Amino acid sequence: MQIGKLIQQIFWFLLSLLPLLIWLNLWLSQSQTHSLDSIDKLNKPTTQAFINEPLQPLPEQITLNADKVRLGQQLFYDPRLSKTNKMACVSCHPLTSTDKPRKSSELNNINIPSLYNVSFNVFLNWDGRTEQLSDDLDNTLHAPDKLASDWQTLIAKLQQLTDYTALFQQLYPTVGITEQSIKDALITFERSLYTPNARFDKFLRGDATALTEQEKAGYQLFKQVGCVGCHQGVNIGGNLLQKMGLTADYFAEREDAIADNGRFNLTGQEADRHVFRVPSLRNVAKTAPYLHDGSVDNLAETVAIMARYQLGRPLTNEQIESIVHFLHTLTGEYQGKPL
C-alpha cells in the first residue's frame, strides 16, 4: 500500500512539472502558437518585442470572407438549427450584453465558456474532447441537451427556407446546403470572434506606455509565481489539459465545489480524473463566472483559488490585487470596439 501511494505521489509530482516544461519549450522555441488551419490567414505583427515572452499577442487582423461571416452569424442566432426551433447557438454562448445565456446548472453544472478567440484554442470543451471546430459542431448539433438534431434533418429544414437557399447558392454554388457548407459558414463566423488590441497586446508589441507600473508588476508576478506555466501562448491558455488540484484536493476541501470527474468521464482512465482544459484568460475580466463549474464570480477569489490548488503557494492580498490588475489588461476589442 505504501509503495503504491509513493508511486502515485511521484506520478502527480511529475505531472505538476509538465506546465513548466511546456513553458520552457515555448520560451526556447520562441514560437507563436495558434489553432487556425493555416498560418497564411494571419497578418503577422510588425514588431518582435514579444519574442522572448511566454505570451504572444493576437494577430491584429485575420482575413476572412465577410459574406460567409454574415451567413455564419445568421445561423449562429437562428433557433431553427435546433430540433425544437427554440434554441440557437447564442442561447448558450452570448456575444453581447443583450444576449441571454442559459445558466451553467442547466448543462450538468458545467460553466459555459466564452467563444471569443475560440479558434486559437488547441482543446475545446472542458474535458478537451475535441480539437477541431468542425467536431465541436457535431457534438453541439447531436447533444440532447443542446440542439438535439442531426445533419440530415437540419439540411432538409434549411432547404425549405428560401433566404438560406439563396445565400448558400451564392456562396457555395457547386454544393449548396450541405453539412460541410453549413460548418464552413459557422466556423468562419467563429473565427471572426477574435478580440485583438488588448492593452497587453500593445505592450507586447513594444508600447511600454500601454500598461501602468502596477499592471507591469502584475504581469511579472504572473510569470514568477507560475501562472504562466499553464496560461501561455497566443490565447493565454486553451492549449493544455491539467488536473484541478495539483497541490491540494480542490474537491475535498471546497464545500461549494461541484463534483466533476472532468476528462475521466471521457476516457475512463484514472490519470484523467479531475483533469480539465486550461481556459483562455483573454477577456477574463468580462467573462465571469469562473472555473469549470462556474462557482466563483470574483476574479480575485479565483486567483487565490488557483494559487492554493494549482501552485501550492498562497498569495498575499497585495499580490492578488497586482495580478488582477494585469488580468484586466487582457480585455480586447471586438469589431473595433472594447468588450
Residues at the binding site for heme c are: 89, 92-93, 227, 230-231, 306
Rounded to whole angstroms, the Cα distance separating 339 from 336 reads 9
| Cβ-based neighbours of 217, under 8 Å, separated by 6 or more | 322, 326
Handedness of CA 154, 128, 41, 202 (dihedral sign): positive
| Spatial separation of the C-alpha atoms in residues 196 and 34, rounded to whole Å | 14
What residues form the annotated binding site?
89, 92-93, 227, 230-231, 306
What is the C-alpha separation between 8 and 309, in angstroms, rounded? 18
Q: What letter represents residue 140's amino acid?
A: T
Q: DSSP 3-state assignment of 55?
A: strand
CA distances from 89 to 58, 74, 104, 163 (A): 25, 10, 15, 19
How far is 106 from 145, CA to CA, in rounded Å? 8
Give the Cα separation of 211 and 204 in Å (integer). 10
